[in-house]
Amino acid sequence: DIQMTQSPSSVSASVGDRVTITCRASQGIGTWLAWYQQKPGQAPKLLIYTASSLQSGVPSRFSGSGSGTDFTLTISNLQPEDFATYHCQQADSFPYSFGQGTKLEIK
């Protein structure tokens, strides 16, 4: 199985800041990487697919990049509604494993 490792596990930031979250795959996955946002008590919401494609309806302050084994999710101009947990998922080979999550907290 492909292992997905996110860093940091948690991060504190303020409204208006720019934040970057990293996801590393244990082997190359091309650009088969997705990012999800999850708020407490809610299901995950798809933000980014194929590493850098923005899902319809997701604000443009969210962006993704990377290929192979290293990927980043960047959130620019943080808004109050962005404080949540973010998960990466590889979709290169079964099982389509997830990272352990990164909790974005208000500073």
Partner 1 sequence: QITLKESGPTVVKPTQTLTLTCTFSGFSFSTIGVTVGWIRQPPGKALEWLAVIYWDDDKRYTPSLEGRLTITKDTSKNQVVLTVTNMDPVDTATYYCAHRQSGVRVFDIWGQGTMVTVSS
Give the binding site for partner 1 (CB under 8 A).
Answer: 1, 32, 34, 36, 42-46, 49-50, 53, 55, 87, 89, 91, 94-101
For residues 21 and 64, give the distance between their C-alpha atoms in angstroms, rounded to a whole number: 10
For partner 1, give the closer residue by CB, 66 or 78.
66
We find the least distance from the C-beta atom of residue 91 to partner 1, in angstroms, to be 4
Q: What's the count of helices (H) and strands (E) in the chain, helices before strands?
A: 0, 10
Decide: helix, strand or coil at residue 6: strand
Contact 101, 6 (CB under 8 A): yes
Cβ nearer to partner 1, comparing 18 with 39: 39
CB of 6 to partner 1, least distance (A): 9
| Smallest separation, CB 46 to partner 1 (Å) | 5
Tokens 């998960």: give the residue: 87
Please give the structure tokens belonging to residue 9.
């596990």
Closer Cβ to partner 1, 78 or 97, answer by number: 97
